[in-house]
Amino acid sequence: MDSHKIEYPALFTSSDNYSIKAQNNFKNLNKWTLVALVVATVFSSVTQENWAIWTSTALILVSAILSTLMLVLKFEKGWYEGRAVAESIKTLCWKFMTGARPFSIDLNETKAQNLLIENFKKVIGHRKDFFTLIGSDFAENEQLPVELLNIRKLSKEERIAIYKTQRLEKQKKWYTDKTTENKKWTKISFVIIIVAQVLAITSLILKIKFEFEFSIAPILVTISTAFIAWLQLRRYQELSQSYLITATELSLIKSKINQVKTESDFSEFVDDSETAISREHTLWLARRDNIELFK
């Protein structure tokens, strides 16, 4: 039963790919902006020779250009709008495959497909600007992969098994892995911030006591500030808590799968599961632009 391949529509693939690309661009622009500022501080602190001053000036100019690009290109908007579309499409597909409402298993094949297409249109209607950005490549590819139809035709027991392994367990593992990753980077970031601040204080004390002409305190303060900015940007701590809560909720929901006896039970079970998944992403989006995830 696990051999069934899950193939999502081109709408999902295009939105997902664009979101990942926009996210990487957004992170890279922010990262190199901070790096340029830190290096500029290093050069200006080490020496006041002309070459160092000009290098620092150039790096600050690079930082300003990168900041302007972030404002103009709006990669963050493409990132979370793409994510919203991709997650919406994925939720609709799983409800369709499992026969959950509104795609009741009692609906004939044509009506169910038409209803799915209508819901795809609603997603597009709410994201017209986004679909202008990603181009028309999705329009030329399959929007109703045969795999979706084949899984919908399986027995209830087979659909339950596929939903459990291919959706719940994979999604739970994703949240668990992300929780671990975000906790790790939270600790690393705080260690660097604290160490940099302690060394900066030590450097200033030594400078006062021994009357050193040179101090690395400005460099360390800049490094600490850069990591604080990066920590706020990535929201490691906040995301780790959010992912952990969702992973726990999915685990509790999955434990009820043996209680599913009828198609109605299964529809309600899938609805609860998808609501839990959507809730986490809706909150993620709301923290950025008050965008709701489509149902």
Predicted local confidence at residue 1, as pLDDT: 44
What is the DSSP-derived secondary structure letter of residue 259? G
pLDDT digits (tens, 9 = 90+) for 42-77: 888 887 788 888 999 999 999 999 989 988 888 888
Reference 100, options 163, 17, 18, 11; nearest CA is 163
- pLDDT reported for residue 278: 82
List b or e across 75-94, with b for residues whose CB sees 16 or more CB atoms inside 10 angstroms.
Answer: bbbbbbbbbbbbbbbbbbbb
C-alpha closest to that of 91 among 171, 161, 31 = 171
| pLDDT in the model for residue 293 | 37
Could you read off the pLDDT of 213-225 as tens digits, one per residue?
777 888 999 999 9
- Alpha carbon of residue 34 to chain centroid: 21
Mean pLDDT, consecutive 10-residue stretches, the chain (295 aa), reads: 74 88 91 92 84 91 92 85 87 94 91 91 77 59 80 94 93 90 90 94 88 82 90 76 83 89 93 85 58 38
For the chain, counts of helices (H) and of strands (E): 11, 0
Write down the pLDDT at residue 283. 64
CB 200 within 8 A of CB 217: yes
Is the distance from CB of 63 to CB of 36 less than 8 angstroms? yes
The predicted structure's pLDDT at residue 213: 73
Question: How many other CB atoms are there within 10 angstroms of residue 137's CB atom?
Answer: 12
